[in-house]
Amino acid sequence: MKNRLLSSLAAIIIIAILSFSCSTAPDKVPDDGKIILTPKPGPEPRINGTKIFGVRPGSPFMFKIPATGLRPIKYEVINLPDGLTCDNSTGMITGTLNSPGEYKTIVRATNNKGTAEREFRIVCGEQLALTPHMGWNSWYVWENHVTDSIMRAAADAMVSSGMIDHGYMYINIDDCWSVKPGSDDPSLTGEPRDASGMINSNKRFPDMKDMTDYIHSLGLKAGIYTSPGELTCAGHVAAYQYEEKDVARFVEWGFDFLKYDWCSYSKVGNKELLEDLQKPYLLISSIIRKQNRDIILNLCQYGMGDVWKWGKQVGGQSWRTAGDLGGSFEGIGKALFRDGFDVYSRDSLHLYGGPGGWNDPDYLLIGYLSNWKGQTVPTPLTPNEQYTHVSLWSIVAAPLIFSGDITRLDEFTLSLLTNDEIIEVDQDPLGKPGYRVSKNGDTEVWIRNLEDGSKAVGLFNRGENEAEVTAVWEEIGVTGKQRVRDLWRQKDLGDFSDKYTSTVPVHGVVMLRLWPEKL
Ligand code: GLA
């Protein structure tokens, strides 16, 4: 009896411990309806990510070769130009190039399952961002709670999740790293600038240089955020009238990317005037250009004044094409279709993006996101909408910047972020963004012309019922027999002569690639 009592007591204690640990453990994303299509990377080496990389003469060069496959991998680069070296065990290419030019190298990755080789072009000149940026940004999951340790953990997760092996490169802090005047939170208060006017980080970021050193040591690059106004959108100290000093500080701290968010600049400039819209960006890019460091400039001004028509001219490597995709948590699905499909087709945005300057429809809002009510919760997008999101971004050559919780990646979200054949479309070196070729009620066909003469084709269904969607060769501009491949599944579907039809789920997509028979 006593024994039974004791064992029941023990069972109760164990159940209590288990339920406590379950309730404190991170929530699991429910797997209902989430069909993973992306095959897992094999053990043999495969080189991924961008095939072309720009650097300015004299700037420090850093590029880590992204490759999947069993470790250890030995990396080699054939025809690496003088001034650069490759670390054979990490795949980090570092050094400096002084002479402008295009250097064609062959990157090789070898493990005990085999060898992979691929051409990798290094272009030393004025253009950076020869393919859209890939990375992570803190905003949509951490908003105003971001800290140094969150950034380091994000960098760690970029490596441990394997995202780095698929080409993801930037770890970007968004708003809320500088002092917030008038805040009653002691971690945000303090002197906004030092005696010489150099901007200070707030107490949540005790040592920016040490943080970027850490991010770089993992083979990643670091990004920061500010505004041309006096304050950022969240009311933190920004760059107005301190532009030179703030860029100098970002260089001293070791940043590689700057998001420059209009926000309170409306108090300085008139957003109805093109000249005023351009002025702060011209100023900051001319300062950045003088630095001995390559810093990507992301214009964030929500598409005002048709920024896509001049974003590159004022020195931007990318520009937001609309407002915040996740401004309202519940509205992300709607915004995806509006800012993704509608804005792009209405304004023919494909005419403007390209190597060195990309349309940016905002971040990938999948995985765990802030619901703006103090919790991080799974994206409101259905699994099919998530496929649509990533597919459309790759067709329109958008930056692939994930902004969910990278330390809490479920298999489904990871599979969406790491499909190398989808990423290959996004990163295609020709850099021609895709566009809509046909719309039939709620279904749309989008295409993107790729460097090897093939085409990516997205069959989208925006409707509330499953639908058949057909890519008709004549409409998409191909003739004759085409080899058709399903990119999410990474499977050939066969040869087709005048069209291809597929059933597409509600709000879903089928992503194809078509090669003419002779390729
Ligand atoms: C604006 C931008 C967002 C984010 C926030 C930060 O809303 O569009 O991407 O940077 O500011 O406050």
Evaluate whether 46-124 and 134-426 have a shared fold. no
**Residue-level pLDDT at 19:** 36
Asked if residue 234 has its Cβ within 6 Å of ligand 1, the reply is yes
Exposure string of 230-257, with b = 16+ CB inside 10 Å and e = fewer, is bbbbbbbbbbbebbebbbbbbbebbbbb
Residue nearest to atom 11 of ligand 1 (CA): 233
- How many whole angstroms from 302 Cα to the centroid of ligand 1? 9
- What would the 3-class secondary structure string for 202-239 be? CCCCCCHHHHHHHHHHCCCEEEEEECCCCECCCCCECC
510 Cβ below 6 A of ligand 1:
no
The fold of the 134-426 domain, in CATH, is TIM Barrel (3.20.20)
Which residue of the set 246, 324, 426, 428 is catalytic? 324
What's the pLDDT at 172?
Answer: 99
pLDDT at 518: 75
Expressed in angstroms and rounded, the spacing between residue 1 Cα and the centre of ligand 1 is 65
**CB 174 near ligand 1, within 6 Å:** yes
**pLDDT computed for residue 31 by the predictor:** 44
The pTM assigned to this predicted structure is 0.93
Span 258-312, pLDDT tens digits: 999 999 999 999 999 999 999 999 999 999 999 999 999 999 999 999 999 999 9
Shortest-distance Cα residue to atom 8 of ligand 1: 324
HEC per residue, 110-159: EECCEEEEEEEEEEECCCCCCCCCEEEECHHHHHHHCCHHHHHHHHHHHH
- CA 320 to ligand 1: nearest atom: 8
pLDDT in tens, 301-328: 999 999 999 999 999 999 999 999 999 9
Q: Which CATH code is given to the segment(s) 46-124? A: 2.60.40.10
Strands 46-47 and 67-68: antiparallel
Atom 9 of ligand 1: nearest residue by CA position? 324
**Known active-site residue 428:** no
In the annotation, is 256 catalytic? Answer: no
Rg (CA), the chain: 24
The CA distance from 243 to 220, in Å, is 26
- pLDDT less than 50: residues of the chain: 1-3, 5-31
Architecture of the 2-30+434-516 domain:
Sandwich (2.60)
Query: Which two three-digit tokens encode residue 305?
Result: 């004044």
Reported as a single tens digit per residue, the pLDDT across 152-211 is: 999 999 999 999 999 999 999 999 999 999 999 999 999 999 999 999 999 999 999 999
> Is 260 in contact with 299 (CB distance < 8 Å)?
yes
Q: What is the pLDDT of residue 519?
A: 67
Q: Which of 175, 225, 260, 365 to mutate to test the pocket of ligand 1 (most atoms within 8 A of CB)?
A: 175
Domain boundaries, the chain: 2-30+434-516, 46-124, 134-426
Q: Which of 261, 405, 410, 420 is catalytic?
A: 261
